[in-house]
Structure 1
Amino acid sequence: MTLPTLPLELRQQIAACVDTIHRPSLYAFALTSKACHAASTFLIYQQVNITVHDREGLRRDIFRLLEALSRTDSTRHVQRIMIKGALQLDARKSKGDDRKPLWICDGLEEILENEETIHYSDRDVFRGQAVIEKFSEEDMAWSPVVSLLQAIPRLKDLIYDCPSQFPPSLLKTLHEQHPRCRLHHLTFRFRTLLWDAPCPYEIELATSPSLYKVKVACGWQDSHGDYDLNLEAMMQLATGLAPNLKEVIVLGLSPFLALQYFPSRGLWQGLPGYTSRPVGSLTSLSLKGFSSLRSPELLQKWARYTDFSCLQHLTLGGCYDVKTSGLTGETMEWVSQNMSFSKLRTLDVYLNRDDMYQQRPHYSQNAVFFFQTFQYLKELSVTGPIDSSIVHAIVSYHGQTLKKLSLNPFEQTFDHRGNGRIQRVIPMEFTKDHLLHIQAGCPALEELSITVWRNKSSASETELYKCFAKMESLKVLFLTLDCSNWHAPHDNIYDPESYAEDPARGILKETYINRAVDEALARSMWEVISKNKTGKRLERLKLWTTASIEYGVAEGTFWAIDVLNNLSRSWLITRVPRDDQDDITVRELGQREREARDARLRRKRPTETRNVFHEVWPRKEGSESWHDDWSSFPLQM
Structure 2
Amino acid sequence: MAISQLGNLPIETLLRICQHLAPDDLRALALTSKPCNVAAIAQLFHTITITINAESMRDRSSAFQQLFARLSCANHVRRLTVVDEPEYEDEYPWADEGGQEEGEGDGQENPPRPDERSAAFWDPLGELLQSLPALSDLVWASLRPFPPVLLAVLHRQLPSCRLHLQKFTFSQGKVEENATEELLTLLSSPNLHSIWFRWTLRDSNGKDNHTFEAVTRIIQGVAPNLREVKSQWYRGNSGGRFGTGPRKPFQDFVPEDRFPKTCGALERLELMGSFHSALPDLQAWCEITDFEKLQSLRVHMGIDRVNITFLARDCQLTSLKSIHMYIPSKDISDLVVEFLGNLPALESLSLDGELDRRSLETVLERRGPSLRVLQLEPEGMSETRLVMSNDDLAMIAAQCPVLEELAVYVRRTKGDEREVAGYKILGSIPRLHRLKLHLDTSTIELLRKQDPTNPEEETPDDPSFSESDRQLFNTETTSETHHQPRNGHVRDTFINSALDEALARSIFAVIDKSRAQSNSPQRRALEELVLVPTGGGNFGDGSWLVSINNVIKEISRHWHLQRNVRDDKRDEIVVKLHESWEVPLSDEYWEPGLYERVETIYHNLWPAKEQEAVERWKGSWRGEWFSFPLATD
**SS of the residue aligned with 1:187?**
strand
Given that residues 125 and 224 in structure 1 are in contact (C-alpha distance below 8 angstroms), is that contact kept between their aligned partners in structure 2?
no
Q: Shift of the alpha carbon at 1:161?
A: 2.3
**SS of the residue aligned with 2:10?**
helix
Instruction: Tell me the distance in 2 between the aligned counterparts of 1:633 and 1:599.
Output: 24
Q: Which runs of 5+ in 2 are unaligned?
A: 452-457, 463-468, 473-484
1:158 aligns with 138
Q: Shift of the alpha carbon at 1:241?
A: 0.9
1:416 aligns with none
Q: Are residues 281 and 139 of structure 1, via their aligned partners in 2, closer, same or farther at CA, if it must alter by over 3 Å?
A: same
* 1:407-556 correspondence runs (5 A): 407-411=376-380, 426-488=384-446, 490-492=448-450, 496-498=460-462, 500-502=470-472, 503=485, 505-533=487-515, 534=518, 535-547=523-535, 550-551=538-539
2:551 aligns with 563
1:189 to 162, 165, 169: 169
Q: TM-score, normalised by structure 2?
A: 0.82
1:71 aligns with 70
More divergent stretch after superposition (385-394 vs 549-558): 549-558
Instruction: Tell me the distance in 2 between the aligned counterparts of 1:53 and 1:517.
Output: 45
Instruction: Tell me the distance in 2 between the aligned counterparts of 1:610 and 1:164.
Output: 57
What per-residue deviation string (whole Å, max 9, x for no partner) do you get for residues 517-536 of structure 1? 11111100110000110322
1:111 aligns with none
Q: Are residues 134 and 555 of structure 1, via their aligned partners in 2, closer, same or farther at CA, if it must alter by over 3 Å?
A: closer
Q: Are residues 592 and 472 of structure 1, via their aligned partners in 2, closer, same or farther at CA, if it must alter by over 3 Å?
A: closer
Given that residues 270 and 298 in structure 2 are in contact (C-alpha distance below 8 angstroms), is that contact kept between their aligned partners in structure 1?
yes
Equivalent AA in structure 2 for residue 247 of structure 1: E
Q: Which runs of 5+ in 1 are unaligned?
A: 90-94, 102-113, 319-324, 414-423
1:313 aligns with 296
Given that residues 508 and 551 in structure 1 are in contact (C-alpha distance below 8 angstroms), is that contact kept between their aligned partners in structure 2?
no
Q: TM-score, normalised by structure 1?
A: 0.82
Given that residues 161 and 186 in structure 1 are in contact (C-alpha distance below 8 angstroms), is that contact kept between their aligned partners in structure 2?
yes
Question: Is the aligned partner of 1:364 residue 2:353?
Answer: no
**SS of the residue aligned with 1:158?**
strand
Question: Is the aligned partner of 1:123 residue 2:80?
Answer: no
Given that residues 104 and 204 in structure 2 are in contact (C-alpha distance below 8 angstroms), is that contact kept between their aligned partners in structure 1?
yes
**SS of the residue aligned with 2:470?**
coil
Equivalent AA in structure 2 for residue 497 of structure 1: D
More divergent stretch after superposition (149-158 vs 555-564): 555-564
1:17 aligns with 16
2:272 aligns with 288
Given that residues 340 and 373 in structure 1 are in contact (C-alpha distance below 8 angstroms), is that contact kept between their aligned partners in structure 2?
no
Q: Shift of the alpha carbon at 1:467?
A: 1.0
**SS of the residue aligned with 1:220?**
coil
**SS of the residue aligned with 2:603?**
helix
1:30 aligns with 30
Q: Greater Rg, structure 1 or structure 2?
A: 2
Q: Shift of the alpha carbon at 1:627?
A: 1.7
Q: Shift of the alpha carbon at 1:377?
A: 0.6
Question: Is the aligned partner of 1:336 residue 2:312?
Answer: yes
Instruction: Tell me the distance in 1 between the aligned counterparts of 2:70 and 2:17.
Output: 24
Question: Is the aligned partner of 1:228 residue 2:198?
Answer: no
Given that residues 109 and 143 in structure 2 are in contact (C-alpha distance below 8 angstroms), is that contact kept between their aligned partners in structure 1?
no
Q: Shift of the alpha carbon at 1:583?
A: 2.1
Q: Bigger relative contact order, structure 1 or 2, given CA contacts below 8 A and separation 6+?
A: 1
Equivalent AA in structure 2 for residue 308 of structure 1: F
1:145 to 105, 125, 134: 125
Instruction: Tell me the distance in 2 between the aligned counterparts of 1:528 and 1:5.
Output: 36
Q: Are residues 268 and 603 of structure 1, via their aligned partners in 2, closer, same or farther at CA, if it must alter by over 3 Å?
A: same
Q: Shift of the alpha carbon at 1:571?
A: 1.8
**SS of the residue aligned with 1:251?**
strand
Question: Is the aligned partner of 1:402 residue 2:381?
Answer: no
Question: Is the aligned partner of 1:270 residue 2:252?
Answer: yes
Instruction: Tell me the distance in 2 between the aligned counterparts of 1:599 and 1:205.
Output: 57
**SS of the residue aligned with 1:190?**
coil
Given that residues 372 and 402 in structure 2 are in contact (C-alpha distance below 8 angstroms), is that contact kept between their aligned partners in structure 1?
yes
More divergent stretch after superposition (309-318 vs 197-206): 197-206
**SS of the residue aligned with 2:199?**
strand
Instruction: Tell me the distance in 1 between the aligned counterparts of 2:143 and 2:589.
Output: 34
1:219 aligns with 200
Equivalent AA in structure 2 for residue 281 of structure 1: A
Given that residues 77 and 134 in structure 2 are in contact (C-alpha distance below 8 angstroms), is that contact kept between their aligned partners in structure 1?
yes
Equivalent AA in structure 2 for residue 220 of structure 1: L
1:621 aligns with 610
Question: Is the aligned partner of 1:208 residue 2:202?
Answer: no
1:81 aligns with 80
Instruction: Tell me the distance in 1 between the aligned counterparts of 2:538 and 2:7.
Output: 62
Instruction: Tell me the distance in 2 between the aligned counterparts of 1:599 and 1:82.
Output: 44
2:222 aligns with 241
More divergent stretch after superposition (194-203 vs 266-275): 194-203
Given that residues 202 and 238 in structure 2 are in contact (C-alpha distance below 8 angstroms), is that contact kept between their aligned partners in structure 1?
no
Q: Shift of the alpha carbon at 1:487?
A: 2.7
Q: Shift of the alpha carbon at 1:76?
A: 1.3
Give the count of matched residue pairs. Answer: 590
What per-residue deviation string (whole Å, max 9, x for no partner) do you get for residues 504-526 of structure 1? 54444333323221111110011
1:304 aligns with 287
Q: Shift of the alpha carbon at 1:570?
A: 1.8
Question: Is the aligned partner of 1:132 residue 2:121?
Answer: no
1:351 to 306, 309, 327: 327
Equivalent AA in structure 2 for residue 619 of structure 1: A
Given that residues 313 and 347 in structure 1 are in contact (C-alpha distance below 8 angstroms), is that contact kept between their aligned partners in structure 2?
yes
Q: Are residues 58 and 11 of structure 1, via their aligned partners in 2, closer, same or farther at CA, if it must alter by over 3 Å?
A: farther
Q: Are residues 173 and 463 of structure 1, via their aligned partners in 2, closer, same or farther at CA, if it must alter by over 3 Å?
A: same
Q: Shift of the alpha carbon at 1:86?
A: 3.0
What per-residue deviation string (whole Å, max 9, x for no partner) do you get for residues 358-405 of structure 1? xx3xx3321111012211111111112222211111111111111111
**SS of the residue aligned with 1:437?**
helix
Given that residues 383 and 410 in structure 1 are in contact (C-alpha distance below 8 angstroms), is that contact kept between their aligned partners in structure 2?
yes
Instruction: Tell me the distance in 1 between the aligned counterparts of 2:225 and 2:346.
Output: 25
Given that residues 18 and 39 in structure 2 are in contact (C-alpha distance below 8 angstroms), is that contact kept between their aligned partners in structure 1?
no
Q: Are residues 346 and 556 of structure 1, via their aligned partners in 2, closer, same or farther at CA, if it must alter by over 3 Å?
A: closer
2:630 aligns with 635
Q: Are residues 508 and 4 of structure 1, via their aligned partners in 2, closer, same or farther at CA, if it must alter by over 3 Å?
A: closer
Q: Shift of the alpha carbon at 1:633?
A: 1.7
Q: Shift of the alpha carbon at 1:282?
A: 0.6
1:573 aligns with 561
More divergent stretch after superposition (64-73 vs 299-308): 64-73
Q: Are residues 605 and 23 of structure 1, via their aligned partners in 2, closer, same or farther at CA, if it must alter by over 3 Å?
A: closer
Equivalent AA in structure 1 for residue 136 of structure 2: K
Equivalent AA in structure 2 for residue 398 of structure 1: R
Given that residues 504 and 553 in structure 1 are in contact (C-alpha distance below 8 angstroms), is that contact kept between their aligned partners in structure 2?
no
Equivalent AA in structure 2 for residue 18 of structure 1: I
**SS of the residue aligned with 1:37?**
helix
CA RMSD in angstroms, aligned pairs only: 3.6
Q: Are residues 501 and 145 of structure 1, via their aligned partners in 2, closer, same or farther at CA, if it must alter by over 3 Å?
A: farther
**SS of the residue aligned with 1:237?**
helix
**SS of the residue aligned with 1:240?**
coil
Q: Shift of the alpha carbon at 1:188?
A: 1.2
Instruction: Tell me the distance in 1 between the aligned counterparts of 2:604 and 2:119.
Output: 64
Question: Is the aligned partner of 1:380 residue 2:338?
Answer: no
Q: Are residues 48 and 241 of structure 1, via their aligned partners in 2, closer, same or farther at CA, if it must alter by over 3 Å?
A: same
What per-residue deviation string (whole Å, max 9, x for no partner) do you get for residues 544-583 of structure 1? 3334873569999556433332222222212122456542
Given that residues 15 and 39 in structure 2 are in contact (C-alpha distance below 8 angstroms), is that contact kept between their aligned partners in structure 1?
no
Q: Are residues 344 and 293 of structure 1, via their aligned partners in 2, closer, same or farther at CA, if it must alter by over 3 Å?
A: farther
1:604 to 592, 595, 599: 592
What per-residue deviation string (whole Å, max 9, x for no partner) do you get for residues 33-67 of structure 1? 122212332233222234x3854455554444334
What per-residue deviation string (whole Å, max 9, x for no partner) do you get for residues 206-228 of structure 1? 33332211111112322244332
Q: Shift of the alpha carbon at 1:607?
A: 2.8
Identity across matched positions, percent: 27
Equivalent AA in structure 2 for residue 375 of structure 1: P
More divergent stretch after superposition (586-595 vs 611-620): 586-595
1:322 aligns with none
1:92 aligns with none
* 1:99-114 correspondence runs (5 A): none
**SS of the residue aligned with 1:120?**
coil
Given that residues 190 and 202 in structure 1 are in contact (C-alpha distance below 8 angstroms), is that contact kept between their aligned partners in structure 2?
no
**SS of the residue aligned with 1:399?**
helix
Instruction: Tell me the distance in 2 between the aligned counterparts of 1:155 and 1:78.
Output: 6
Equivalent AA in structure 1 for residue 571 of structure 2: D
Q: Are residues 531 and 592 of structure 1, via their aligned partners in 2, closer, same or farther at CA, if it must alter by over 3 Å?
A: closer
1:418 aligns with none
